[in-house]
């Protein structure tokens, strides 16, 4: 069971309607990611990387093919079933952080726990959220709102929020894209360490070749087709 | 449950930093709720006061009258078991003293009279129990006598007066009867006896033909249900000879004016609800659009649709509770503080009171408004996809898939809310037709606004680009954000519709109130004057006696024989006018011109020099009262001859005056019959009493009846009602302005974002503001194009189903109100950008990039 891949995507097509005509974004994508494995997807803008991430998160539906995440076929589930799937299975880190501006760092992180574990006591939620923030070095910034945090700090809150539920899969969409090199390095380091500690698999989209080099496997997306490029130069 | 609480907690917390933006929504809900609570409190207080006043004026809840005989023992028993009974007898008799004679409007009070109120008299015992105060003492019964008659007869208290051949002791002056206002138009000077005293009157012959005796029985019911008791007692008495009036019947047309006012208040209440709801919808739509980022984050974290619903529903409820709470507090304050002042303004005493039902209904309606008008934005919230977070495309509320929505269970809460809302509106107004008319018009107007704006936008997009840059940019902004543009048009348009409706109704009500007022009312009238007496009267005009004006109307008496070929024995009279018409000899007149205080309701008035076949003009109530129609032939017996005339028109006249006639003939029909004259005397201001005394002394055989003071009181009350209508209309305009501000929330973020980008690209602040001003000016003008006809149509519809008043439109007032709203929309729309234009763009660009 431990070796069963967390992601199995086979022959996935994805197209959207543009002015009444289908535009093929993904064509015959196959992807398999093992538990605790860290993979990177690189490729030019508009190649279909983000679309694949959205399909893996169950935010869009594949036009053809099958996607299984954590043993669940997510291609045929309804909206609310997908919501339950997300809260139980994965965490997401966005390029633009997407923290809720009116909530403190502690509440932003606690929110993920409250949604994922509805029966959890509020005091426990706060305790675990505080621990997650402490783990990303923000133990003293619990009551700060996003506007009082730097970009790097906001992304660390985003990371804590994504990992506080200890998901089996972390999807990261250019997590360092909006950060300077130093802040980005801190975030990446934290992300890799925490994922390893939790045994969380990571699928990360990045344009940063050095960052991609640090992952277990690398894939390249070009014109909707995904190719493994691990070890390729 | 914990999940629910967690969702609620986060919802409240997430909103906590944003209270300022909701202040307008809270104010709109508070104003709407307060207006509903206020108008309900005022109208139910008026209704209660009218009921109580009516009972006071009538001297009981029900009055049973017959003119042929007194009630027999079994009839008295039936009435007595229903409550407390008092009786009076009314008739006209001659009175005399050693020095003169007088014509008496005689009232004989039985034991228990008056049931309510007190007699206006100098004898304190007679004030509450005239029957006992006027009992036989030293072999003589007592009488209370009008002070004018005492003067006329040269008597004082303690003297003896002969009434109907029997001597009575004058025990005091009589200045008023508690049920005087509902006794109608009485001839003669009032005198009060006891019924025992009246039983001793030896000569009961009326000095004038056609005047009879009324036996009235006033009943203060033991049970509260007046109408049910009225029906039950009518059935038990089982004799068509009884005329039964409830207290409200007795109050007559004044009741209609109060009902018109409360109906108008209800329209204002419903209108404020509707535009308050539109404001809630605008603010919530904009809010949900702006919060789509937060929703997407929640969804990305695995929040289900219901959790998103709870998150925002809790926010709506919190806002609703605050707004409604403030509204209720204001409503209670209105009940406790404002009611007496309102009562004073409209001329009816209103006691301090908290109307719990009105408050509860207003609260429920306020919360339902908050829910129903937020529901679609909440549905939109649930549709937000977290996929948006991965794309740089702008966040905003997604479009509703109407087909899917209408077919899904999501429609159910909205349907229930709408039904509840409808039910509460009916409870509030107690008028299904009004609510239907209002709802139909509002929905029709909203659909027209939406469709019209969409079509107009399509039309605008086909036009070539404007040469003037600010206009070009404005048009581009309007066309580029179709959804926002039509939302602004719909919201601003609906606010305009309501204000047009309120203003048109206010104008029509004021016309009705002021039209019914008799500003140049005569002070006294006298009937059956002969030409020589009239000449003498006319010679008295001038400052010497304080008589300002004397007018004469020919008057003769006749009996109606048949109407449209049916003998009157076969006709059933419905209402007092019809009953009077068929009651025997009635006064009539002939006229060449319609008097200024009368109003043509149906048909044409004849030319002043008309010489054609005999035509007759009847009081409008005879249409329903007898089923008379234009073209019907009516036969009269006048001086033993049959005169037949065709109904040429129906007319209404100021009821207060009683100075027009039910029947008026065209010229040339009755001119040759001997006639007397109805004279109306207008006294100079402040000299009314002097004139009354002069006429009583100078024209001993003529009975002048004082009507001026009553008319003045009524006119004052109507003027105050009219002012109250204007004041309520003004409040509605202020409320509309608030709503207007709320409606501008639609698309605000988009406008701000565009303004910032324009600024970044080098546009001057003035250019951006001018462009926004033009944009909103165009949207408001377009909204007005639909709102004005829609509002006028709705007002017309409401005058037909609710108010039943003459309909007229005052273009100047409507023009000013709408122009003001257009100007305000343009200015307020432009000023929504002031904040972003006064901050450095860099800060805003950063703010715009956050969730």
Query: Residue B462 pLDDT > 90, yes or no?
Result: no
Tell me the C-alpha distance between B293 and B287, whole Å: 11
Region A198-222: mean pLDDT is: 91
Could you say which of B2, B293, B297 has the minimum Cβ distance to residue A118?
Answer: B2
At B762, give phi and psi (nearest 5°).
Answer: 110, 5
Q: How many CB atoms lie within 10 A of CB B242?
A: 16
A73: number of Cβ within 10 Å: 11
B386 touches chain A (CB under 8 A): yes
Please provide residue A9's backbone torsions phi and psi, each rounded to the nearest 5 degrees. -115, 130
Rounded mean pLDDT, B351-373: 84
pLDDT of residue B141 exceeding 90, the answer is yes
Closest Cβ–Cβ partner in A83, A94, A125 for B302: A83
Percent of chain A surpassing pLDDT 90? 43
What does the block give as tokens for B324?
């409604």
Q: How far A52 CA lies from chain B's nearest CA (Å)?
A: 11
Q: Spell out which residues of chain B touch residue A62, defining contact as CB-CB under 8 Å.
A: none
**Chain B residues lying within 8 Å of A173, measured CB to CB:** 390
pLDDT greater at residue B84 or residue B520: B84
Burial track B664-692 (b if 16+ CB lie within 10 A, e otherwise): bbbbbbbeeeebbbbbbbbbbeebbeebb
Which residues pair with residue A173 across a beta bridge? A205
**How confident is the model over B62-77, as a mean pLDDT?**
86
pLDDT at B705 over 60: yes
Q: According to the model, what pLDDT value does residue B648 have? A: 94
Residues of A in contact with B302 (CB under 8 A): 83-88, 112, 115-116
Signed CA dihedral, B387, B388, B390, B393: sign only: positive
C-beta atoms of A50 and B390 within 8 A: yes
* Residue in chain B nearest A90 by alpha carbon: B301
Query: How close B401 gets to chain A, by Cα (Å)?
Result: 15
Contact call for A59 and B300, based on CB within 8 A: yes
pLDDT of residue B384: 79
Min distance B315 CA to chain A CA atoms (Å): 14
pTM of the model: 0.65
Question: Which region, left, alpha or beta, applies to residue A36 given φ > 0 means left and ψ of -120 to 50 means alpha?
Answer: left
Average of per-residue pLDDT across B498-510: 84
Q: In Å, how far are B18, B286, B317, B327, B401 from B321, measured between CA atoms?
A: 16, 20, 6, 10, 30
Measured over the CA atoms of residue B188, residue B191, residue B194 and residue B198, the dihedral's sign is: negative
Which residues of A fall within a CB distance of 8 Å from B391?
Answer: 50
Report whether B781 contacts B822 (CB < 8 A): yes
Query: Cβ of B134: how many Cβ atoms within 10 Å?
Result: 28
Could you check whether the bond before residue B658 is cis, i.e. omega within 30 degrees of 0? Answer: no
Q: Is the ipTM of this complex over 0.90?
A: no
Give the per-residue pLDDT at A1.
44
pLDDT of residue B85: 92
Number of neighbours of residue B709 by Cβ within 10 angstroms? 12
* In contact, B632 and B678? CB cutoff 8 Å: no
A-chain residues within 8 Å CB-CB of B389? Answer: 92, 94, 96, 98
Q: What are phi and psi of B565, to 5 degrees?
A: 85, -10
Average pLDDT, stretch B174-191? 74
Helix or strand run (H / E) with residue B625? helix B621-626
Provide the mean pLDDT of chain A: 88
With vertex at residue B481, the alpha carbon angle to CA B476 and CA B484, rounded to the nearest 5 degrees, is 130
Which CA distances in Å does A146 have to A101, A182, A190, B297, B341?
A: 6, 19, 19, 14, 53
- Mean pLDDT, range B479-484, rounded to an integer: 74
Q: Which residue has the higher pLDDT, B255 or A205?
A: A205
Average pLDDT, chain B: 81
Query: How many residues in total does chain B contain?
Result: 851
CB atoms within 10 A of CB B330: 19
Query: Minimal Cα distance from A154: which residue of B?
Result: B850
Contact B300 A107 (CB under 8 A): no
Segment (H or E) for B646:
strand B641-653
Instruction: Tell me, rounded to whole angstroms, the distance of Cα A213 from its chain centroid.
Output: 18
Please tell me the predicted confidence (pLDDT) of residue B655: 44
The rounded distance, in Å, linking the Cα atoms of B781 and B492 is: 10
- What are the backbone angles phi and psi of residue B567, rounded to the nearest 5°? -60, 150
Q: Do A102 and B15 touch (CB under 8 A)?
A: yes
Closest alpha carbon to A179 in A146, A144, A155, A195: A155
């Amino acid at each position: 069971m431990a070796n069963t891949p967390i992601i199995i995507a086979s022959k996935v097509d994805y197209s959207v309607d543009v002015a009444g005509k289908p535009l093929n974004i993904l064509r015959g994508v196959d992807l398999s990611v093992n538990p605790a494995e860290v993979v990177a997807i690189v490729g030019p803008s508009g190649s279909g990387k983000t679309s694949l991430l959205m399909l893996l998160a169950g935010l869009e539906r594949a036009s053809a093919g099958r996607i299984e995440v954590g043993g669940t076929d997510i291609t045929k589930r309804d909206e609310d079933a997908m919501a339950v799937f997300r809260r139980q299975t994965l965490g997401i880190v966005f390029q633009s952080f997407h923290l809720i501006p009116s909530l403190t760092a502690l509440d932003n992180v606690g929110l993920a726990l409250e949604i994922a574990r509805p029966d959890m006591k509020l005091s426990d939620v706060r305790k675990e959220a505080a621990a997650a923030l402490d783990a990303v070095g923000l133990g003293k910034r619990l009551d700060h709102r996003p506007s009082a945090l730097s970009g790097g700090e906001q992304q660390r809150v985003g990371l804590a929020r994504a990992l506080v539920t200890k998901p089996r899969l972390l999807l990261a969409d250019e997590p360092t894209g909006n950060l300077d090199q130093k802040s980005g390095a801190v975030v990446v380091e934290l992300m890799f360490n925490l994922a390893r500690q939790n045994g969380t698999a990571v699928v990360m989209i990045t344009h940063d070749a050095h960052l991609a080099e640090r992952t277990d496997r690398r894939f390249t997306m070009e014109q909707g087709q995904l190719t493994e490029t691990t070890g390729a130069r | 449950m914990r999940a629910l609480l967690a969702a609620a907690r986060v919802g409240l917390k997430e909103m906590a930093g944003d209270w300022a933006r909701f202040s307008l929504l809270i104010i709109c809900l508070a104003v709407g709720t307060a207006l509903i609570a206020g108008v309900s409190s005022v109208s139910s207080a008026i209704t209660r006061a009218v009921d109580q006043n009516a009972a006071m004026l009538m001297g009981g809840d029900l009055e049973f009258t017959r003119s042929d005989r007194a009630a027999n023992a079994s009839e008295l028993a039936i009435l007595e078991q229903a409550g407390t009974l008092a009786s009076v007898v009314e008739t006209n008799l001659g009175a005399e003293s050693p020095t003169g004679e007088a014509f008496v409007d005689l009232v004989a009070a039985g034991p228990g009279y008056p049931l309510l109120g007190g007699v206006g008299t100098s004898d304190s015992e007679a004030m509450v129990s005239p029957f006992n105060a006027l009992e036989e003492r030293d072999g003589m019964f007592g009488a209370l006598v009008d002070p004018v008659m005492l003067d006329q007869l040269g008597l004082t208290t303690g003297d003896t007066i002969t009434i109907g051949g029997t001597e009575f002791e004058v025990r005091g002056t009589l200045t008023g009867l508690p049920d005087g206002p509902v006794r109608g138009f009485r001839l003669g000077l009032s005198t009060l006896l006891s019924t025992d005293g009246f039983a001793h009157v030896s000569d009961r012959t009326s000095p004038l033909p056609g005047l009879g005796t009324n036996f009235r029985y006033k009943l203060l019911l033991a049970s509260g249900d007046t109408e049910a008791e009225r029906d039950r007692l009518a059935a038990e008495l089982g004799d068509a000879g009884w005329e039964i009036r409830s207290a409200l019947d007795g109050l007559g047309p004044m009741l209609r004016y109060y009902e018109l006012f409360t109906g108008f208040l209800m329209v204002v209440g419903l209108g404020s609800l509707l535009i308050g709801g539109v404001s809630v919808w605008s603010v919530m739509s904009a809010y949900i659009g702006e919060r789509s980022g937060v929703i997407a984050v929640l969804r990305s974290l695995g929040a289900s649709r219901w959790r998103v619903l709870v998150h925002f529903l809790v926010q709506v409820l919190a806002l609703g509770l605050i707004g409604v709470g403030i509204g209720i507090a204001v409503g209670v304050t209105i009940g406790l503080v404002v009611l007496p002042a309102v009562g004073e303004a409209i001329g009816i005493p209103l006691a301090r009171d908290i109307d719990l039902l009105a408050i509860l209904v207003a609260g429920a309606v306020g919360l339902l408004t908050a829910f129903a008008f937020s529901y679609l934005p909440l549905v939109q919230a649930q549709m937000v996809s977290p996929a948006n977070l991965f794309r740089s495309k702008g966040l905003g509320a997604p479009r509703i898939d109407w087909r899917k929505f209408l077919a899904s269970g999501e429609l159910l809460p909205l349907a229930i809310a709408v039904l509840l809302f409808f039910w509460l509106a009916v409870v509030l107004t107690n008028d299904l037709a009004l609510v239907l008319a209002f709802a139909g018009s509002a929905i029709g107007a909203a659909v027209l606004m939406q469709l019209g704006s969409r079509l107009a936008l399509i039309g605008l997009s086909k036009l070539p680009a404007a040469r003037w840059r600010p206009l070009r940019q404005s048009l581009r902004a309007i066309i580029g954000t179709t959804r926002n543009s039509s939302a602004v048009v719909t919201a601003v348009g609906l606010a305009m519709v309501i204000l047009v409706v309120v203003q048109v109704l206010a104008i029509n009500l004021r016309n009705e109130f002021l039209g019914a007022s008799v500003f140049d009312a005569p002070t006294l009238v006298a009937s059956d004057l002969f030409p020589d007496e009239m000449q003498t009267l006319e010679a008295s005009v001038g400052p010497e006696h304080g008589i300002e004006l004397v007018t004469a109307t020919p008057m003769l008496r006749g009996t109606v024989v048949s109407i449209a070929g049916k003998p009157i024995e076969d006709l059933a009279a419905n209402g007092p006018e019809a009953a009077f018409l068929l009651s025997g000899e009635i006064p009539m007149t002939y006229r060449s011109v319609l008097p200024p205080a009368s109003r043509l309701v149906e048909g044409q008035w004849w030319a002043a020099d008309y010489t054609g076949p005999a035509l007759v003009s009847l009081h409008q109530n005879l249409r329903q009262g007898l089923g008379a129609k234009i073209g019907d032939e009516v036969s009269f017996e006048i001086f033993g001859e049959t005169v037949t005339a065709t109904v040429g028109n129906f007319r209404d006249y100021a009821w207060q005056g009683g100075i027009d006639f039910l029947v008026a003939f065209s010229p040339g029909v009755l001119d040759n019959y001997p006639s007397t004259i109805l004279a109306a005397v207008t006294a100079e201001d402040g000299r009314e009493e002097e004139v009354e005394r002069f006429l009583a002394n100078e024209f001993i055989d003529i009975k002048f009846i004082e009507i001026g003071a009553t008319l003045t009181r009524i006119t004052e009350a109507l003027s105050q009602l009219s002012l109250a209508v204007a004041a309520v209309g003004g409040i509605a305009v202020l409320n509309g302005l608030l709503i207007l501000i709320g409606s501008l929330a639609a698309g605000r973020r988009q406008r701000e974002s565009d303004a910032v980008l324009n600024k970044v690209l080098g546009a001057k602040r003035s250019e951006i503001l001018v462009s926004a001003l033009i944009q909103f000016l165009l949207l408001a003008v377009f909204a007005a194009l639909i709102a004005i006809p829609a509002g006028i149509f709705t007002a017309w519809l409401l005058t037909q189903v609710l108010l039943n008043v003459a309909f007229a439109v005052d273009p100047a007032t409507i023009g000013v109100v709408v122009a003001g709203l257009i100007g305000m929309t343009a200015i307020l729309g432009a000023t929504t950008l002031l904040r972003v234009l006064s901050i450095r763009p860099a800060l805003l660009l950063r703010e715009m990039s956050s969730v």
